[in-house]
Structure 1
Amino acid sequence: MKGLQYIDADGKPAVWADHKKRMWLWGLFVPTALFYSIGIMWLLGLGDTPLKYLAPVFWWIGPILLYVLLPIIDVALGDDGENAPDEVMEALEHSTYYKWLTIAFFPCHIASLIAMCYFLTAHDLTWLGGVYGHGGGLGIVSQIGVMLSLGVVTGIGINTAHELGHKKENDERWIAKITLAPAMYGHFYIEHNRGHHVRVATPEDPASGRFGETFWEFLPRSVWGSLRSSWELEKTRLHRLGKSPWTMKNDLLNAWLMTVVLFGVLTAVFGWYVLPFLIVQGIFGFSLLESVNYLEHYGLLRQKTASGRYERCAPKHSWNSDRLTTNVFLYHLQRHSDHHANPTRRYQTLRSFEESPILPAGYAALIPLTYFPYGWRKLMDHRVLEHYDGDITKVNIHPRVRDKVLAKYGPAAGAAASEGTSSEGSSAA
């Protein structure tokens, strides 16, 4: 593999090659997975064997990938473990290969969206053979599978839009907004860049998970809080320009208009039947984004300085992971501390910091766990406390459970436990 030449710290010529360079192509597997599934179903239907009855399972390729295959592969392949040398950063940053991989996600996503609408409304799938050889369309279970599979594409598409939306080039920023359209989440383009990155790891940030807060509490708080914040941010920006917020120059309104136009065109072509499926796949897609938001900063808190301001965002304010599989499929999103330190830096140059708090697994394995509050807290609460050396007062605590948490983990509880231990020791003596 051809690498980048540079002069190392000893003044000697060296070559560095991105060992993931071809692996990054796997980032396009998810938005095209539905088409691979169709090919597999067609092959299963070639012969009149019991295998043809397995074909409908592949309509569920998205959830199978997300909740089963990727977590298993993530654990099996382990950590990435490689940062690019500082000397090649500039050349790596300007490589167009990486840029076009993210841009290519968009047409693949739209193709899958159109394919979903076709299969939901097709009345004759005889050409697929197998169990569809008798004619007719998909049953409701298969339709739900197609919808959720597209929702997985849409959720990962938000991450691709996240990568593009941080860039300075207008073409990438516009593609980011269009890529958010299937998720009905155009406001993310505003709130993430100008809201979350400013307020991250503080109680004021709707997209930072709080200690003791379940994902199901976080989800509506983050969705509504982000919507409200994005509107206020755009309203303030336009007010400074002497404009009303009710204009197409409002990035919130023109982003939402893209969703209306996209869903409107698909509904006009395929009929009203596809509209509820489009809406539900969008909701499922942005819920996947929010599960990642929840875990990225869970319980972490920027402390206030003597001036009353929050300290600068640092590597210690983001949970990180360096699992190879999720790194590839989510464009290094797990190297989250470096992203917050350098928001415009392209994914291929993001680094893993040793001083960052590290998650016990990759995002792929942890997303399903966020749905189960007991399991999540069992896994993460003690890690948050360890990160702050047991000082619960430094943690971003959810208000609903603040008194209970302080009673359990606060200084008074610790003193009582120590006193109890001392008393037992005295009695024993």
Structure 2
Amino acid sequence: MNVLHYLKYFLFHAIGLLAAGFIMAGQGYVTLGLLTVLVIYMVGDAVAGDDTSTPTFKHPGILTFQLWMALPLLTLIVWCALWSFSSTDPLGWGAFVTQITGHDVIAARDGTFWAHQVSTVILTGLMIGMVGTITAHELTHRTWDPVSMLIGRWLLAFSFDTIFSIEHVYGHHRYVSTEEDPATAPRGRNVYFHVVASTLKGNVSAWKIEQKRLARKGQALFGWHNAVLRGHAMSLLLVAGAWAVAGPLPTALLVVCMLWGKALLEIVNYMEHYGMVRNPATPVQPRHSWNTNKRISSWTMFNLTRHSHHHAQGEVPYQDLKPFPDAPMMIGGYLTTIVVAMLPPLWHKLMTPKVLAWDRDYATAEERALAARANAASGIPAMMAANQAQPQLYRAAA
């Protein structure tokens, strides 16, 4: 076997360990760590180009183990952050790290300027989104594997989002790129509005899906069998554990990190399907997702980047996803596109031409009719004008 094909996915774990180390180092090292992660992804994707290889893996168990390792890794990162927010030394962790490294992490933490603590919050939330949600996304699609499902749901508990294992798998994948899908952002929507709207509607959708499942099985809605309630209890257990060990203020800051991790998921949802349209009665095709094959993002995000194939065949393991280089492409790699999405004027400037090109190059006649209505409702002048500027393209709109 080509060992390098297996080792490349360990870059995911290396970045997580790097983040934990910078958090523990304290002071300016935390901000340096945040900047380092941003540079690795944004500059790395720009320089390293695309990875369109499709190697054959003869030992998939290794790749599954790599996914499972995300849970202890994320636990370590979150614990380091919680400790860094504390004014004491919970569980003697600081003394232990000082002893084995020779770096007085307690003194460094106590001398950390508040702005660097903000960097800790941003970096920790980023790791919750990347180490937690990205891995959980892969694991919770493996509905046939109870171990993967359990680990995936615990990873999601770190962002108050265990309902993702329900709504995403049974809702989003069915209704993606339609008006029925909470995670698909319509044309013209602001990303910050989408974070709130998708979160609320996603929870409602998950509750309805679980309600129907329990009814089919003849089980009580309010009871242990309800995966929505059980999942929220998992998140509350994490918060209660943090409170018991570190107290209220560190726990409050940790909750901010967890919410930021959840927001990142919705930002990713926003950029993966923004502006797409589809009749829910028609099959999902690779053209219904924004794709990217940037090398660093692919290797450190378990091929989440190959989103077009994932939505066309959601049951395919990440290592077997194909690059689909002819699919509609994102602005850049994942972190680069996240940053752009968080700057709405820049996002709409760059994405409006891409969305209109999608109408021209990928959409069916029926989808162009849906696109014409979406353009008219978007509030984006260039989109609204496209219906009149290209009447033959959108002629089915009537």
- Answer whether TM exceeds 0.5 for this pair: yes
Q: Give the Å deviation of 1:402.
A: 5.7
Check if 1:140 corresponds to 2:111: no
Q: Which one of the candidate residues 129, 134, 144 is aligned to 1:159?
A: 134
The residue that corresponds to 1:98 in the other structure is: 63
> What corresponds to 2:395 in structure 1?
none
Deviations 1:37-59 (A, max 9, x none): 267x4xxxxxxxxxxxxx62222
Q: CA deviation at 1:394?
A: 4.1
Alignment of 1:297 onto 2:268: no
Match of 2:306 among 335, 341, 344: 335
Cα separation, partners in 2 of 1:179 and 1:398, compared to 1, 3 Å: farther
The correspondence for 1:60, drawn from 25, 31, 39, is 31
| Paired amino acid for 2:352 | D
Task: Give CA-to-partner distance per residue, 1:7-35, whole Å, 9 cap, x none.
Answer: xxxxxxxxxx4753211111112332233
- Separation in 2 of the partners of 1:295 and 1:139? 34
In structure 2, C-alpha distance between the alignment counterparts of 1:120 and 1:171, rounded to whole Å: 32
Distance 2:110 2:87 in 1: 8
In the alignment, the residues of structure 2 paired with residue 38 and residue 336 of structure 1 have an alpha-carbon distance, to the nearest angstrom, of 31
* Superposition map of 1:214-293 within 5 A: 214-293=190-269
Q: CA deviation at 1:380?
A: 1.2
SS in 2 for 1:397: helix
Q: Which of 140, 151, 161 lines up with 1:185 in the alignment?
A: 161
Residue equivalent to 1:325: 296
2:54 pairs with 1:83: yes
The counterpart of 1:385, out of the listed 349, 352, 356, is: 356
Of 57, 70, 80, the residue aligned with 1:115 is 80
**Matches of 2:298 and 2:44, distance apart in 1:** 12
**Deviation of 1:239 (Å):** 1.3
Once the two structures are TM-superposed, the CA of residue 122 in structure 1 deviates from its matched residue by 3.6
Structure 1 contact 106–175 (Cα < 8 Å) conserved:
yes
What is the deviation of 1:108?
0.9
Amino acid at match of 1:223: T
Partner of 1:203: 179
Question: Structure 1's 131 and 355: CA in aligned 2 closer, same or farther, altered over 3 A?
Answer: closer
Give the C-alpha shift of residue 375 in structure 1. Answer: 0.8
Please list the CA deviations of residues 352-407 of structure 1 after superposition, one character each: whole Å capped at 9, or x if unmatched. Answer: 11331122311121110001111111111111111221886342837853696664
Say whether residues 1:359 and 2:337 are aligned partners.
Answer: no
Change in Cα spacing, 1:397 to 1:29, as seen in structure 2 (3 Å) is farther
Amino acid at match of 1:295: M
**Cα distance in structure 1, aligned partners of 2:297 and 2:39:** 13
Q: What is residue 347 of structure 1 aligned with on the other side?
A: 318
Pick from 151, 164, 167: which aligns with 1:175?
151
Distance 1:57 1:367, change over 3 A: same
Residue 30 (structure 1) aligned with residue 15 (structure 2): yes
Does the CA-based 8 Å contact 1:118-1:270 persist in structure 2?
Answer: yes
Q: CA deviation at 1:249?
A: 0.8
| Aligned CA distance change for structure 1 residues 28 and 244 (closer, same or farther; 3 Å) | same
* Residue 7 (structure 1) aligns with: none
Alpha-carbon distance in 1 for matches of 2:15, 2:139: 18
Aligned to 1:423: none
Q: What TM-score, normalized by structure 1, do the two folds share?
A: 0.80
Change beyond 3 A, Cα 1:35–1:83: same
C-alpha separation in 2, matches of 1:368 and 1:282: 19
Does the aligned pair in 1 maintain the 2:375–2:383 contact within 8 Å? no
Query: Is the contact between residue 15 and residue 37 of structure 2 (CA under 8 Å) also seen in structure 1?
Result: no
Report the structure, 1 or 2, having the larger helix content: 2
Q: Which runs of 5+ in 1 are unaligned?
A: 4-16, 42-54, 417-429
SS at match of 1:320: coil
- Looking at structure 2, the residues matched to 403 and 35 of structure 1 have their Cα atoms a distance apart, in angstroms, of 42
Structure whose alpha-carbon radius of gyration is higher: 1
Q: What letter corresponds to residue 95 of structure 1 in structure 2? A: P
Q: Distance in 1 between the 2:32 and 2:60 partners?
A: 32
Tell me the distance in 1 between the aligned counterparts of 2:107 and 2:229: 46
- After alignment, is 397-406 or 360-369 more displaced? 397-406
Residue type matched to 2:134 in 1? N
> Given residue 343 of structure 1, which amino acid in structure 2 is its aligned partner?
G
Contact residue 155 and residue 286 of structure 1 kept, 8 A:
yes
Separation (CA, whole Å) in 2 of partners of 1:366 and 1:406: 21
Query: Which residue number corresponds to residue 421 of structure 1?
Result: none
For residue 244 of structure 1, what is the amino acid of its counterpart?
A: A
Aligned-residue CA RMSD (Å)? 2.7
| 1:70/1:223 CA distance change after superposition, 3 Å | same
Post-superposition offset of 1:310: 2.6
Residue 255 (structure 1) shift: 0.9
CA offset at residue 178 of structure 1? 0.6
What is the CA distance between 1:142 and its match in structure 2? 3.0
> Does the C-alpha gap of structure 1 residues 353 and 134 become closer, same or farther in structure 2, counting only changes over 3 Å?
closer
